[in-house]
Amino acid sequence: MSKKFLKVLTMAAASAVVLSGCVGKSDEKASSNTAVDEKANVEITYWNFPQFTKDKEFTKTEDYDAALIKAFQEKYPNIKVNYQKIEFTDGPAKIETAIQSKTAPDVIYDAPGRVIAWASKDLLVPLEDVDKSKLADAAVKASSYDGKLYMYPQGIAPFLMGVNKDLTDKLGVTDLLPLNKEGRNWTVEEYEKFLKAVKEKDSEITPALFYTKSQAGDQGPRAFVSNLYNSWITDKDVTKYTINDENGVKSLEWIKKAYDEGLLGQGVALEAKDALEAFKTGRAASTILFSPGIAASHASGFDYKFLPFPNSSGKATYEYLVAGPAIFDNGDTNKAAAAKKFIDFMINDKDWGKRTLLASGNFSAKVGETGLYDSEELKFAESLTTQYGPYYNTIPGYAKMRPLWFNMVQGVLNGTTTPKDGLDKFVTDANKTIEEAK
């Protein structure tokens, strides 16, 4: 029995029952296979963050979305799409407010971290018609909950490191980079040699900036810690946090030592935007947070190179971005059907599907759809698909884990706790957030 139907019965009985946490579901869920009127006039709402900024014609995301909607409505004149642009700063809060007031959009373009949390609360329409075999397994896993796909993954891209090659050429240390090695892989020892060389050549330039102030861009520091001696934040099945293993402790011990030696800057009170600004302006030779999207906004005007994280095993593992549309279950089968047509258009239309992907700057989540970019660096980043690690951004309690992480690392760098004690406490507290969220 659905929540709304229960509410109707309760009201009929003149009982005051307060129901919360639903998005206006009806007795007949929008996600059912009930036949819909394909020719009925339908209005749907579509919310999007500034995702599509790299189109050659429409460089403002709202202009691109408007063009996308216009093309869709020309093909489906009975479907009207009402659009609202939201910002990364306050957009998440606006979505949650809309959910609580039962005015959630029909379509949202987002990432699994939020989408799967909504799916776990039964707020979304499962995308049962999507052929998952045509999509990258890593993207499908990140976009699914309880065996069902809830976000249609369109774009995917790794988070890795970057270096300002113009600067390293000037300093005479480019030969210490792994640019000519297979996969550009390098060890912790090779990385440390590079950091020391930069510091020796120019003490005013930060070799790399390890930042810890907030959860902004925290995938960079976490992947950095995870990789050095081949550990990971969670187990492979993403059921518990495990970064306090022997290798994780060894990684954080190395970071503390390198930080004290001035090889990783002074980032205990800095966050991702500070690190990226230092890289952009040439005050830092490299960055531990980089991606195709970040490169487009923070690496213009100089020759940059993508770099793997140093890894003692010789091959890095990456956290990665997944992006795509999802559909809120607003209790209307016709709206849900229209929303499915819209997201299928933006991903699979022969003209607008690939164009929308390219406008995001991401790689395709479709199996075999590669080589979309001419850049040598983008081709390299695209080649790392097989090295994606377990996607833990959808683990229960993820949001509450994040402040535990950066507070712990701050304590280690400030010397108020040891790497082992810090990681042991972090894992204990972080695993509690999983249980509390269930």
Q: What pLDDT, in 10s, does the model give residues 62-95?
A: 999 999 999 999 999 999 999 999 998 898 999 9
The pair of three-digit structure tokens given for residue 362, joined into one six-digit string: 């991401």
Asked if 104 and 328 touch (Cβ cutoff 8 Å), the reply is yes
Q: What's the pLDDT at 88?
A: 86
Q: Summarize the confidence of residues 208-237 as an average pLDDT.
A: 95
Residue 325 has pLDDT above 80, yes or no: yes
Residue 22 has pLDDT above 90, yes or no: no
Residue 20 has pLDDT above 50, yes or no: no
The pair of three-digit structure tokens given for residue 86, joined into one six-digit string: 């939201």
| CA nearest neighbour of 150 among 177, 115, 174, 183 | 115
Q: How many CB atoms lie within 10 A of CB 350?
A: 7
Query: Sheet containing 160-164: which strands, arranged edge to edge?
Result: 286-290, 160-164, 304-307
Q: What's the pLDDT at 311?
A: 96
| CA nearest neighbour of 325 among 156, 152, 155 | 152
| Percentage of the chain modeled with pLDDT above 70 | 91
Residue 228 has pLDDT above 90, yes or no: yes
Residue 16 has pLDDT above 60, yes or no: no
| CA nearest neighbour of 267 among 436, 98, 409, 64 | 409
Residue 167 has pLDDT above 50, yes or no: yes
Q: Is 176 left (phi over 0), alpha (psi -120 to 50) or beta?
A: alpha
Burial of 188-221, coded b for 16+ CB within 10 Å and e otherwise, reads beebbebbbbbbebeeebbbbbbbbbeeebbbbb
Backbone angles phi, psi at 402, to 5 degrees: -60, -45
Q: What's the pLDDT at 37?
A: 67
Residue 17 has pLDDT above 80, yes or no: no
Q: How many CB atoms lie within 10 A of CB 121?
A: 13
Q: Summarize the confidence of residues 387-402 as an average pLDDT.
A: 94
Q: What's the pLDDT at 192?
A: 98
- Of the candidate ranges 23-32, 178-187, 312-321, the one whose mean pLDDT is the lowest: 23-32
* 3-state secondary structure (DSSP) of residue 189: helix
What residue type is assigned to position 435 of the chain? E
Q: Summarize the confidence of residues 321-327 as an average pLDDT.
A: 97
User: Per residue in 251-307, pLDDT tens?
Assistant: 999 999 999 999 999 999 999 999 999 999 999 999 999 999 899 888 889 999 999
Q: What's the whole-number average pLDDT of the chain? A: 91
The pair of three-digit structure tokens given for residue 144, joined into one six-digit string: 């699914």
Q: What's the pLDDT at 291?
A: 94
- Tell me which DSSP letter residue 383 carries: G
Write 370-377 long-range contacts (CB < 8 A, 24+).
Answer: 377/295, 377/304, 377/305, 377/306
Burial of 272-284, coded b for 16+ CB within 10 Å and e otherwise, reads bebbbebbbeebb
Query: Sheet containing 107-110: which strands, arranged edge to edge?
Result: 79-85, 42-48, 107-110, 320-327, 155-158, 363-364
Residue 9 has pLDDT above 80, yes or no: no
Q: Which helix (H) or strand (E) holds 357?
A: helix 352-360
Q: Is 24 left (phi over 0), alpha (psi -120 to 50) or beta?
A: left
List the beta strands (DSSP E) in 58-211. 79-85, 107-110, 144-145, 148-149, 155-158, 160-164
Q: What's the pLDDT at 40?
A: 80
| CA nearest neighbour of 402 among 186, 213, 184, 151 | 213
Asked if 346 and 353 touch (Cβ cutoff 8 Å), the reply is yes
The C-alpha atoms of residue 307 and residue 177 are separated, in whole angstroms, by: 9
Residue 385 has pLDDT above 90, yes or no: no
Cα-Cα end-to-end distance for the chain = 22
User: Per residue in 127-139, pLDDT tens?
Assistant: 999 999 999 999 9
User: Per residue in 37-67, pLDDT tens?
Assistant: 667 899 999 999 999 998 999 989 999 999 9
Q: Is 257 left (phi over 0), alpha (psi -120 to 50) or beta?
A: alpha
Highest-pLDDT range among 169-178, 267-276, 381-390 = 169-178
Question: pTM of this prediction?
Answer: 0.84
The C-alpha atoms of residue 391 and residue 116 are separated, in whole angstroms, by: 12
The C-alpha atoms of residue 280 and residue 287 are separated, in whole angstroms, by: 9
User: Length of the chain in residues, anyone?
Assistant: 438
Residue 200 has pLDDT above 80, yes or no: yes
The C-alpha atoms of residue 52 and residue 49 are separated, in whole angstroms, by: 8
